[in-house]
Amino acid sequence: MRPGTRVTDTMLALLGRDGAGSALALLPAAVGTWCVTLGTGWWILGGALWAVALALGLGSLRHLVHVARVRGRYPPPGRMVDVGGHRMHVVAEGESGPRPTVVWMPGGHAGGYAMHRLHSLARCRMRSVLVDRPGTGWSDLGPFPRTTAGEAVELLTALERAGEKAPYVFVGHSFGGLLMANAARRRPDLVAGLVLLDPTPPDAVAFGPALPGMRRAPRDQAVLALRHLFGLHPLADRKGTPASDDPARILATIELRPKANCAAASILRELTPGGITRDGWHTAVHDGELGALPLLLVAPRDLTGGDALFDAVDDPQERARLRHFFLTVRERFLTTSSNARRIYTPEGTGHDFPDVVPEFVVRVVDSLLDQCEAGTRKT
């Protein structure tokens, strides 16, 4: 690990603690006190620093009150399991029966509740599990750096310690798809099948065009962590509105904490050219590495929703090359298994199709479970 990376992760680990804002507020207070001791000419600067310290301290107090309110209103709905010095949150519902257990993983670095709509549709048909990555949802922050390879191991450990029984069908969307493929590569003996919902292809990061949004993502998450530390976020559910019935709003409220932003800032560095060069060997899943594992690649037929990226390119030839690249690069996941199959999403859907057509996604997963069950009966 490069020294700069180590320093960044140390800072993120410190900023990810809810009480870090109070500690940081002491710095201008201490400097202000020192200025006052220097004499009359320094009193104005000292007073200004004390005012800054007071503002930071009050902001930190606001954040800590928010955290206490959220903890009281939204206790963990699932189990907290130890995965080696930190805890992960696991929600499991539905009957397992003879079919594999389904484990869902959302995109970005969101908590498991981001896929609650799929989970709520699936739990009446199958054993359905949501897991919060460290730093997200109700899970603890966990150690740094955050990496896909490390989180794959943590996921497998959390499932085992929560008492969930293999085999599993792993379902992952976008960046979560890359995580699930990584977990399947590490423990193929525990996995009956893999459903990748428009997964993030490492080739797009390594060889694709520079995407300013992805390059800025780690920095933007670090800025959000500082804002949350000092109470610069809305006081969610101030009037006691029925957000407890809305999983999406619950997750948004729970994750107004620096731990979520700092964990994301760390792991999203993988999705930069430098990050994928540094971590790609441990992150990517290469041709044939999943053997004959049943794999469904579910993604749109076209690039619906991505027009802004291509409209920014003036050269028509280059624009056509970009479209071809992004349409074909995700197909590389089909080469990871000799038993892979491509499924197109309904016409008009884009990358966010799991939120738009959840019933379609659950039907696809259900069909793979039927396939796994039929294979088990034959053997």
- pLDDT score at 121: 97
Does residue 125 register a pLDDT over 80? yes
Same domain, 312 and 327: yes
Residue % of the chain over a pLDDT of 90: 72
3-state SS record for 35-70: HHHCCHHHHHHHHHHHHHHHHHHHHHHHHHHHHHHH
Same domain, 155 and 195: yes
Q: pLDDT for 226-235, tens place per residue? A: 999 999 987 5
Same domain, 270 and 333: yes
In a domain, 3, yes or no: no
75 CB-contact burial (10 Å; exposed 0-12 / middle 13-18 / buried 19+): exposed
In a domain, 235, yes or no: no
- pLDDT score at 376: 60
Same domain, 30 and 96: no
- pLDDT score at 240: 44
Domain of 359 in residue numbering reads as: 79-213+266-378
Among 73, 93, 113, the domain-final residue is 73
Q: How far apart are CA 348 and CA 368, in angstroms?
A: 24
- Enter the DSSP assignment of 94: S
| 371: confidence class by pLDDT, cuts 50, 70, 90 | confident
In a domain, 241, yes or no: no
Does residue 239 register a pLDDT over 50? no
Residue % of the chain over a pLDDT of 70: 95
Which of the two residues, 136 and 327, has the higher pLDDT score? 136
Q: How far apart are CA 115 and CA 129, in angstroms?
A: 10
Q: pLDDT for 140-175, tens place per residue? A: 999 999 999 999 999 999 999 999 999 999 999 999
- pLDDT score at 88: 98
Q: Distance of CA 339 to CAs 9, 48, 291, 297, Å? A: 39, 66, 8, 11
Same domain, 272 and 288: yes
Q: How far apart are CA 184 and CA 159, in angstroms?
A: 13
Same domain, 60 and 89: no
Stretch 317-344: mean pLDDT: 92
Total-model pTM: 0.92
Does residue 303 register a pLDDT over 90? no
Q: pLDDT for 181-220, tens place per residue? A: 999 999 999 999 999 999 999 988 888 887 777 788 999 9
- Apex CA 126: angle with CA 363 and CA 189, to 5°? 100
Q: How far apart are CA 96 and CA 323, in angstroms?
A: 42
Cis upstream peptide for 100 (omega within 30°): no
- pLDDT score at 2: 55
Phi, psi of 100 (to 5 degrees): -65, 160
Ordered strands of the 87-93 beta sheet: 79-82, 87-93, 128-131, 101-105, 168-173, 191-197, 295-299, 340-344
Asked if residues 270 and 283 have their Cβ atoms less than 8 Å apart, the reply is yes
- pLDDT score at 242: 45
Same domain, 188 and 330: yes
Stretch 335-340: mean pLDDT: 96
What is the overall mean pLDDT for the chain?
Answer: 91
